[in-house]
Amino acid sequence: MPIRNVNAETVEIRPPNIVLILADDLGYGDIQCLNPDKGKIATPAIDRLAQQGIRFTDAHSTSSVCTPTRYSILTGRYNWRTTLQRFVLYGYSPPMIEEGRPTVADLLKREGYATAAIGKWHVGMNIPLTDDRPVKGHNPQNIDWSGTISGGPTERGFDYYFGISASLDMTPYIYIENDRFVGEGSVVKAFGFRKGPAEPDFEAVDVLPMTASKTIEFINGQSASKPFFAYVALTSPHTPVVPSKEWEGKSELGRYGDFVMQTDAVVGEIVDAIDAAGFGDNTLVLFTSDNGCSKTAKIPDLQSKGHYPSAHLRGSKGDLWDGGHRIPMIARWPAVIAPGSVSDELICQSDCMATFADMIDVRVPENAGEDSVSFLPALRGQSIQSSRAGLIHHSIDGYFSYRQGKWKLLLAKGSGGLTSPREYEVSGGSPIAQLYDMEADPGESNNLYESNPEVVKRLLEQLTSDIERGRSTEGAPAKNDIENIVLWKQPKK
């Protein structure tokens, strides 16, 4: 496969390794190089990654909350095309990625890659039970700790898995390796407000270091004769905010700032391991986050100390405003990417599937990647030629918005998520929707909905088409998993 090398002429090299590192609830403004004026947390490792590669200023998750985002990264398909129309899954939820649905891991494994998923899964798996009773609550008594887990990572394209079933504040509190629990959930613990079964030695504070250790172990076990793909889903800085003792007090912004600094250090450890193993030049390291900063980070307190986790953007995790879903995205691939590059291209995490396929010169399967467009040209410093008209955003409560060029239409009166005003808090007489010029008003403060009806009409028609066609890219129409997707949601308290 010919690849342009920025330091040499075009050469023939083997397929690149890919390491995708996904942070959890890390805001766009939490990365110093993306928020130099309003960011007060030191992130030297991620900043160095940007210096060596490219940073994207207009990259987005498909959702402003975690489970849906992970589904889209792995499948190249919008999350709301499934039966999950709002919120997230839990630790005992069945698989969201249906059997037979190709994932990025399937695509790469078919092309000879060694594949591993390490860290937080959170898109469901079939937890083995001791009887036919359904799982109820967070502390079920009928888990078969010696049974085989099905429908998880090793049945969705990954050769190896080590991690936890969902978020670090969701039961069960126990590691999973491949398709088995590591030990038994024989005691009850709570990391946050959910109390449930835990392996006696499992502690939340150890999970981030363990994720780093297992990732480095996987990298060190690879050879130059076979490419590899590592999907590394960190559990930080999501709640519980548990920086290791050596990181406590480092940021002078509280525990959240400390945890972000530790997250940055883990990214540095993984990148250093890639380089030390001799894989650096031909490995794409893609660092990003699943959504914006969570309110559990105590955003007002951070802002009072000069740190703005959403930078210049409005909103945070859960919201339709860009603070909910515009995320850090930084890539390094020395064989291809010119150091210190910046891209303002509008891209989405669902684009990973098409991009990875493009990198190894194969086609995305016809029954996959319905909402995925390759951003490989952007990595090469070129413009993306997209068959997709725009991006669809989705909030924790299932509200839709549509971005095309500079325009963004929100089918919500308020945040559509967790920030005030929420839908039921918006005063009477307000416009039924919002329209913003994101070039002139990235903070989404001047609602142009009523003064630009022609723009609203065009965007709404395109959004409707992208939903009804079952895909937003070129190709034969596909089917959504549910018959009727509700475009305009009703507010709920």
191 within 8 A of 173, measured Cβ to Cβ: yes
Tens digits of per-residue pLDDT, 264-308? 999 999 999 999 999 999 999 999 999 999 999 999 999 999 999
Tens digits of per-residue pLDDT, 375-388? 999 999 999 988 89
Confidence at residue 115, expressed as pLDDT on a 0 to 100 scale: 98
What count of other Cβ atoms lies within 10 Å of the Cβ of residue 369?
29
What count of other Cβ atoms lies within 10 Å of the Cβ of residue 131?
8
Q: How far is CA 281 from the centre of its chain?
A: 25
pLDDT beyond 50 at 2: no
Delimit the domains of the chain by residue range: 2-6+13-379, 391-468
Strands (E), 321-474: 329-332, 341-343, 347-348, 391-394, 400-404, 407-410, 434-437
Q: What is the assigned CATH class of domain 391-468?
A: alpha beta
Confidence at residue 493, expressed as pLDDT on a 0 to 100 scale: 64
Confidence band, pLDDT 50/70/90 cuts, at residue 427: confident
Q: Which two tokens stand for residue 427?
A: 């005063």
List C-alpha distances in Å: 157 to 75, 105, 207: 11, 5, 23
pLDDT beyond 90 at 402: yes
Which CATH code of 3.40.50.970, 3.40.720.10, 3.90.1300.10, 3.40.50.300 fits the domain covering 2-6+13-379? 3.40.720.10
Same fold, 2-6+13-379 and 391-468: no
Confidence at residue 429, expressed as pLDDT on a 0 to 100 scale: 82
Closest alpha carbon to 264 in 337, 191, 330: 330
Confidence at residue 5, expressed as pLDDT on a 0 to 100 scale: 45
Closest alpha carbon to 308 in 78, 37, 8, 7: 37
DSSP state of 245: G
Instruction: Return d(Cα 21, Cα 231) in angstroms, integer.
Output: 6
Instruction: Return d(Cα 199, Cα 309) in angstroms, integer.
Output: 34
Residue type, 181: F
Q: H-type helices in 64-206, by residue range? A: 66-75, 104-110
pLDDT beyond 50 at 4: no
DSSP assignment of 355-373 equals HHHHHTT-PPPTTS-TT--
Confidence at residue 8, expressed as pLDDT on a 0 to 100 scale: 42
Q: Indicate the angle between helix axes 207-220 and 255-276, nearest 10 degrees.
A: 10
Matching residue, tokens 């940021």? 251
Q: Which two tokens stand for residue 215?
A: 């990732």
Instruction: Return d(Cα 262, Cα 158) in angstroms, integer.
Output: 27
Confidence band, pLDDT 50/70/90 cuts, at residue 393: very high
List C-alpha distances in Å: 470 to 9, 81, 101, 348, 478: 42, 7, 14, 17, 4
DSSP state of 447: -
Q: What is this structure's pTM? A: 0.96
Residue type, 344: D
pLDDT beyond 90 at 10: no
Confidence band, pLDDT 50/70/90 cuts, at residue 491: confident
Mean pLDDT of the chain: 95
Q: Which two tokens stand for residue 131?
A: 């009887």
DSSP state of 33: G
Instruction: Return d(Cα 366, Cα 231) in angstroms, integer.
Output: 23
**Out of 132-141, 293-302, 459-468, least confident range:** 132-141
Confidence at residue 428, expressed as pLDDT on a 0 to 100 scale: 81
Tens digits of per-residue pLDDT, 114-128? 999 999 999 999 999
What count of other Cβ atoms lies within 10 Å of the Cβ of residue 33?
18
Confidence at residue 7, expressed as pLDDT on a 0 to 100 scale: 46
Contacts of 22 (CB under 8 A, 6+ apart): 70, 73, 119, 231, 232, 233, 234, 288, 289, 290
DSSP assignment of 47-67 equals HHHHHHSEEESSEE-SBSSHH
Give the pLDDT mean for 152-156: 98
By residue count, the chain amounts to 493
